[in-house]
Chain A
């Protein structure tokens, strides 16, 4: 039973590896689904294309969204999500290298729940990932599903 799934939207395999490693070490999560671009992320969420057979009632408990993505960038994904009934309340944490004010403002404007910058230092990175997992999967009460 996939009850606590994180959807990681990340195109860079190295970042993916590091994030996965950190999440694994934090012991807060059993399952992480990874998609590699914005279009795939939307396919996943709306069960279209390659994800046609996915159970649309199983929505991830948290989406870690990188901003710089091929095909469709993170902000566009966020906009699409917030515009759709099925995904408008899903917790989205923007997890990115950018510390540009512009990105931060836009993310919040589009309804991001949180904005976390990936630190260069690995320990910090691991800590950030762990805290994200703890907070969003254990402490936070997800929005009631219809």
Chain B
């Protein structure tokens, strides 16, 4: 059972009460007949007004029942006469209409009321300050609680204010303007408002125009954004501080997202990597690290997630592939990004590496030195010994450092060494040479030579450093010297100050032809030719006084004297040599006979050169820097008409026409100044020369300069080009004639073309006329006189007709072939599809009995002459149509296969086909592969096709098989390519 809602119950109750009251009033107030109805009507009205439609209708029902029961005789008890039914129904209808009207109006009022209430509530309790102001007077019409709190004015204060009072004084001038200009819709803007205490707040204003109590007003919502703006400013400031820090940090900084893709990079890192910021922000770690490092990236990222920072040295890769090491501190930032601070440590590394290297080098130096080193304390105790110690003294390093140096020095030398050491101790940095005999581990005495260096003050050393070596074997060194002398490639001669030969080598023996024993102890003058001997001794003595290494005989004036008395040219170098036996002179003797021979060869070649210059075809003239002739060969004599004797010493001007003299002079001087082009040839181009008889002639010249012993010479090579000039002129004339001839020939060709056209025209016109007559009159004969001809006669006449028709077709085809060759081409974009469809449709109309399946592909667009391409299609499709005549299920396909740069169109049929063996005959004019009996035709169609396609720059080919159909292809250059290459040649 449905439970009635409380509201409905209330309505029913009201209805019951109203009707009851009406009945009671009726009972206690004696009124005339009809009052109960009025009262009941009143009750219904009241109920409806208060409770609405449902209550109203309930009241009607109750009123009818109550009146019927209490006041009138019950309806069911009386006979229903017309009057009572009329009254009752009138009452019912009238009251129902009233109820309906009242309740409708009431509903509208209620809903209005509740809406208003809701808005009022929304306005009053809104936490955002709101107000309504009059657009005309700018007075506040209403304000909400939030506004009074926020602005500090009470409601009554607001009531006497205008919106000017809450604006900053400086904003007021623009205010009215703003309000007038504002559109009627919702407005949003940020303003600065003034509170009661005078302080300012930033507010975001949303306003909306409305009617308020009959006045044009604007509802304003003013959200306080002071805090928000301040926060934003702070964020901006900290952002920019961070940005500056980021951009100007000396270390590289990279920001990466969690997938290790970089989102930001500062200037330093970009400089280090030699990428722009835009490039880096496209990168990940793999782009800027060397390959070997990439596997470590993920490990580092894991560590970073656990510990929130990570420190490691990485090897980076620059744009150019070079690498550098850098220390990287990576941090996980609060927003989940990674920040990596990168410091290039390559310089530090390099420095470290340098130190390491120099240490290594130093150590190697010491260890590989034949010298040994020992560090002593001031009193002589060995503090450190180098690894080479055992080689010199036999003691190991460990044994060595247990000694005091003086324990090892021979008694006889001890005091001298101690003295030197003391001397050395007196002055920091001083070096003192020491020589002493020292006891070797094997018991022998060795003579050591060394240097004490006082480095007691030098940090890390604080010792006397002693470099020493064993010189016991120096005697044997002399033997080594002898061996060097002996093996030398030049003669070596050791002479003492008295001129006696002390030492000679094998080369001296072969040079002079003496045995060694014959020379030793003898005076060296025996090796000098007699004529030089006189001064030689004196020279030698001078050398002994002022011994200086020098070379002799470079002037070619020294000779050696062999045992057999012959002489040979020598060069000698002298070196003073201090030996234990006193001063000696070491002479190095070189046989320069060969060199002399070479010099002779040079002289000879110079003579040859002179010969060449003399016999040259070209004139060769050399002038000095004063431009005076110093060389004038015989060709020059012939060319200019002067003898060499006349020309030498004369100025070059004499050989140049007046008008060129000045420029020529300048030219030579300019050339002379260009040191860069020294000895290179410089062309002077075509100039003129002047013969002795005053005749000018064209010459071609080249010039070179040579500096010899401080003097500058210019050599000019000249060629008389009079004849060549003449030849050139002749050539030019010939060329000109040639051009006229070309013009003539072109004209002839044009004339020939005209003739050809005239020929075609006459073929077209004149040849056809007689044919037409043959055909026409034969037909007329057949029609008018057939009864006079027997069957054979009629047959002959038919043959005449056929032959003339055939001839007519031939003429047409030949004409077309000729036309496609010479007609002008107008290239455009042509869609071959519709063209083909039209042609095939014509064939179908012409030959309607046949069923042919036709397939035409889409997008058969070509670039070419529309009319000519139409002829191609007419022939190919016409052939396809013709040769499928005897085929069941005949099919013709027109399509396209694209290859690079070309469009390959094809027409395929399944008709009679052809034998590929004869494919070369396809395109010849009048060539046919089928008999006229099987297929009609003139054999010109494919020749025409080929010509047209060739003119378009394409080619034609075909595939076929007897009785299995044929495919004819024609390629055309691709549209796009053609257009790119420009319109190019539209005629040919």
| Partner-B contacts on A (CB < 8 A) | 12, 14-15, 18, 21, 67-68, 96-102, 118-123, 125
Contacts and interface: CB of A to CB of B under 8 A. Distances in A.
A72 to B, nearest CB: 16
Contact of B776 (A18, A67, A101): A18
B764 A97 contact: yes
A4 to B, nearest CB: 24
A121 B768 CA distance: 10
A68 B765 contact: yes
A120 B805 contact: yes
Contacts of A18: 772-773, 776-777, 780
B761 A120 contact: no
Contact of B765 (A14, A96, A121, A125): A96
Interface of B: 760-761, 764-766, 768-769, 771-773, 775-780, 801, 804-805, 807-808, 812, 815, 819, 823
A81 to B, nearest CB: 21
Contacts of A100: 760-761, 764-765
Contact of B764 (A21, A99, A121, A125): A99
B549 to A, nearest CB: 107
Contacts of A122: 772, 775-776, 778-780, 801
A123 B765 contact: no
B771 A120 contact: yes
Given A99-B815, A118-B769, 4 more contacts: A14-B773, A118-B772, A121-B805, A125-B772
A36 B764 CA distance: 21
Contact of A120 (B768, B780, B815, B819): B768
Contacts of B776: 14, 18, 122, 125
Given A14-B777, A99-B812, A99-B815, A120 B765 contact: no
Nearest to B815: A99
For the complex, would chain B's binding face be called helix, strand, loop or mixed by DSSP majority? helix
Contacts of B807: 120
| A21, A118, A120, A122: residue with the most chain B Cβ atoms closer than 10 Å | A120
Given A14-B777, A120-B808, A123-B779, A97 B772 contact: yes
A138 B841 CA distance: 31
A15 B769 contact: yes
Contacts of B773: 14-15, 18
Given A12-B769, A100-B760, A121 B780 contact: no
Contacts of A102: 761
A102 to B, nearest CB: 8
B808 A121 contact: yes
Given A18-B776, A123-B779, A118 B768 contact: yes
A120 B764 contact: no
A101 B778 CA distance: 30
Contact of B761 (A12, A21, A98): A98
Contacts of B768: 97, 118, 120
| B768, B807, B823: residue with the most chain A Cβ atoms closer than 10 Å | B768
Contacts of A67: 765
Contacts of B765: 67-68, 96-98, 100
14 contacts: A18-B773, A18-B776, A18-B777, A68-B765, A68-B766, A96-B765, A97-B764, A97-B768, A97-B769, A101-B819, A118-B769, A118-B772, A120-B772, A122-B780
B805 to A, nearest CB: 5
Nearest to B780: A21
Given A122-B801, A125-B776, A98 B771 contact: no
A15 B819 contact: no
| A12, A18, A97, A125: residue with the most chain B Cβ atoms closer than 10 Å | A97
A83 to B, nearest CB: 25
| B761, B773, B819: residue with the most chain A Cβ atoms closer than 10 Å | B773
A30 B769 CA distance: 26
A68 B766 CA distance: 9
B764 A98 contact: yes
Contacts of A98: 761, 764-765
Given A97-B768, A99-B815, A101-B819, A121 B761 contact: no
